[in-house]
Amino acid sequence: MSRHGRKRTRPAALVPGTVRVISVRMDYWPASSISVGAMLDVPGQAYVSRYAVGRDYHKVLRRRLRRLAKAIEEHIGQFGYRVFVDSAPVLEKPLAQKAGLGWIGKHTNLIHPKAGSWFFLGELYTDIPLPVDEPIEDRCGSCTACIEVCPTRAIVAPYVLDARRCISYLTIELRGKNSRGPQNQYWEPDIRLRRLPADMPVEQIRTAE
C-alpha cells in the first residue's frame, strides 16, 4: 500500500493528464445461484461466492468500459483515458463513494441504496473535465448486522476490516490448506452481505454474463 500511496490518492500521478474518474458498477447475482443458507447447511459441499460463479468479471467489465469509451469518442472525438477493473493502485471504493454510487458500509464494502453490495466496480480515468456528482451520505446508522454475522470476526470495528482474518483475502493470498474458511466456505463475503438490511431487496438483480 505504501509503495503506491501517491498514485492511489492522486489519479494524475498514476495516469498523467487525468482530471476526472468515471466510476461505474456492474451488478451480479447469477441466475443459477442457490440460497446461501441452503448451501451452508451442507458441510460436505463447498460454497463459492456468487461473484466467482460467472465469467471473469475483470474481462467482462473491462470490455464494457472500453465500449463506453468508444461511445464517448463517437460524440466528442478522441480523448485520453485508461480503464481499470480491480487492478493497479486505484482506490475503487472511495472513488465510487465520491461519484455517488453508494456509501461505504461498516463491512468496508460499498452499499448502493437499491443494489446493496452485489456489484463490481470499474473506473475510466480520463482527461475530460466532466461535471462531478454528489456523494451519498452514510445510511448505516446504528446497524451492526455485518459485524455480528462475519464468521471469522474480521470486522474488528465499524469500518475496520482485519484482512488477516478475512476468508476472501486468505483464499487469494494464501494458496494452500490454510486458505479455506470455516466449514465449507470459500470467498465468504456473501454470508454477511445476505444478512444486511441494505442487501435484502436484490433478489432479481442479474448480470448479462
What are 26-72's pLDDT values in tens digits? 988 655 555 555 555 666 666 666 666 678 889 999 999 999 999 99
Q: Is the pLDDT of residue 205 over 50?
A: no
Minimal CA–CA distance to 122: which of 10, 20, 22?
Answer: 22
Which pLDDT belongs to residue 149? 85
Query: Which helix H or strand E contains 73, and what residues bound it?
Result: helix 57-76
207 domain-assigned? no
Which pLDDT belongs to residue 40? 56
- Report d(CA 117, CA 200) in Å as an integer: 10
Can you state the percent helix, strand and coil of the chain, rounding each to 5? 35, 15, 50
41 domain-assigned? yes
124 near 69, Cβ under 8 Å?
Answer: yes
204 domain-assigned? no
Residue 86: active-site member: yes
Minimal CA–CA distance to 68: which of 32, 23, 106?
Answer: 23
209 domain-assigned? no
Give Dmax (Cα) for the chain: 56
Confidence of residue 152 (pLDDT cuts 50, 70, 90): confident
Q: Is the pLDDT of residue 208 over 50?
A: no
Which pLDDT belongs to residue 4? 73
Domain with 66, as residue range(s), is: 2-199
Q: pTM to 2 decimals?
A: 0.79
Neighbours of 175 (CB within 10 A): 9
108 domain-assigned? yes
194 domain-assigned? yes
Which pLDDT belongs to residue 118? 85
Chain mean pLDDT for the chain = 81
205 domain-assigned? no
Cα 81 from chain centroid (whole Å): 21
Mean pLDDT of the region 123-150 = 94
Lowest mean pLDDT among 59-63, 86-90, 126-130: 86-90
> How is residue 195 written as a grid cell?
444478512
- Report d(CA 47, CA 49) in Å as an integer: 7
Q: What whole-number percentage of the chain has pLDDT above 90?
A: 53
pLDDT digits (tens, 9 = 90+) for 172-197: 666 655 544 544 454 545 555 555 56
65 domain-assigned? yes
Domains in the chain, number: 1
Q: Is the pLDDT of residue 158 over 70?
A: yes
> How is residue 26 written as a grid cell?
456492474
Q: Is the pLDDT of residue 147 over 50?
A: yes
* Catalytic option among 27, 41, 56, 86: 86
Which pLDDT belongs to residue 184? 45
Which pLDDT belongs to residue 79? 98
